[in-house]
């Protein structure tokens, strides 16, 4: 069986919510000393879920082939589809996304690291979007003609619109995480505030805001400062308190090297 037939149509990679994508792109090299992965801050456990789910999809897909495969034939075909060569080929189709893995500074993404992130992404699809979405995506990778007339974004109707964008760090190879959501601007939608709190929590740090206003009541000018563990890290100014807070969070992310 040919593991990597030329794709006439590369299936779209289903979108993941912000928090799951953050986990997907965080390599275990960033895990704190003494942690075992049970707090789900990196992609280790999620990759196990994804690998198991993909094995199920591929085994079922191969079982339904016509003419039927023998046990040895099915096993050999599945091994070929889960080989490093095949997985890295699939990953290369989505290099714009999959190249954004965050590792410890000085550690370059290896095939093992890339494959772990790939399986973690598959695990995220399985757990958040549903196994049927993962099943369709993997089958389309193996057989590009599968359900070509039924494109899907992979986003359930019930998923909030604010979560229908995948989080993609803009720096790879250990560089700090970015606050950009694909297709969205972080400057005026509260994403910098959320990202700052998320990163601070991950690093055991406390975030506080100090705000003050000046000018006439009908045209107030707001100044908001951010303190991380009691230290000033950034400031924002705007006619809206929320916008000033967002600008302050963005400034703090830049100061801390998280943006």
Residue 110 has pLDDT above 90, yes or no: yes
Which residues, other chains included, contact 128 with Cβ-Cβ below 8 Å and sequence gap of 6+? Answer: 16, 17, 20
More confident residue, 164 or 38: 38
Residue 5 has pLDDT above 70, yes or no: no
206, 207, 193: which is closest to 244 by C-alpha?
193
More confident residue, 38 or 127: 127
Q: Give the long-range contacts of residues 110-113, CB within 8 A, separation 24 or more.
A: 111/84, 113/27, 113/29
Q: What is the arrangement of strands in the sheet containing 207-214, beginning at the earlier edge strand?
A: 207-214, 221-228, 231-238
Cα–Cα distances in angstroms (integers) from residue 69 to residues 12, 64, 76, 121, 144, in the given order: 29, 9, 10, 29, 20
Residue 155 has pLDDT above 60, yes or no: no
pTM comes to: 0.58
Mean pLDDT of 12-19: 88
More confident residue, 8 or 208: 208
pLDDT tens per residue across span 122-136: 999 999 999 999 999
- How far the first Cα of the chain sits from its last, in Å, is 45
CB atoms within 10 A of CB 30: 18
- Residue 147's pLDDT is 65
Residue 2 has pLDDT above 70, yes or no: no
| pLDDT cut 90: percent of the chain above it | 36
Mean pLDDT of 43-63: 94
- Residue 190's pLDDT is 60
Q: Are 201 and 22 in contact (CB under 8 A)?
A: no
The DSSP element (H or E) to which 246 belongs, if any, is helix 241-256
pLDDT tens per residue across span 178-199: 333 333 334 445 678 878 887 8
More confident residue, 245 or 7: 245
State the chain's mean pLDDT as an integer.
79
- Residue 167's pLDDT is 37
The DSSP element (H or E) to which 237 belongs, if any, is strand 231-238
């Amino acid at each position: 069986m040919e593991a990597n037939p030329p794709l006439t149509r590369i299936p779209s990679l289903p979108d993941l919510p912000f928090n799951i994508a953050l986990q997907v792109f965080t390599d275990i090299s960033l895990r704190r000393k003494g942690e075992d992965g049970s707090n789900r801050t990196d992609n280790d456990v999620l990759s196990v879920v994804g690998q198991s789910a993909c094995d199920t999809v591929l085994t079922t897909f191969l079982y339904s082939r016509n003419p039927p495969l023998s046990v040895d034939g099915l096993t050999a075909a599945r091994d070929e589809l889960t080989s490093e060569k095949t997985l890295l080929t699939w990953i290369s189709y989505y290099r714009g996304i999959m190249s954004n893995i965050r590792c410890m500074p000085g550690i370059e993404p290896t095939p093992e690291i890339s494959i772990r992130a790939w399986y973690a992404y598959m695990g995220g699809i399985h757990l958040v979007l549903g196994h049927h979405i993962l099943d369709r995506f993997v089958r389309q990778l193996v057989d590009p003609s599968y359900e070509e007339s039924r494109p899907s974004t992979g986003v359930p109707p019930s998923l909030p619109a604010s979560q229908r964008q995948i989080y993609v760090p803009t720096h790879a190879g250990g560089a700090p995480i970015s606050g950009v959501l694909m297709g969205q601007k972080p400057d005026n939608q509260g994403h910098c505030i959320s990202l700052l709190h998320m990163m601070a929590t991950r690093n055991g740090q406390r975030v506080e805001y100090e705000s003050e206003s000046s000018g006439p009541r009908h045209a107030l000018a707001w100044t908001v400062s951010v303190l991380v563990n009691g230290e000033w890290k950034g400031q924002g100014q705007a006619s809206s308190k929320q916008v000033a807070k967002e600008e302050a969070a963005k400034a703090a992310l830049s100061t801390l090297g998280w943006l």
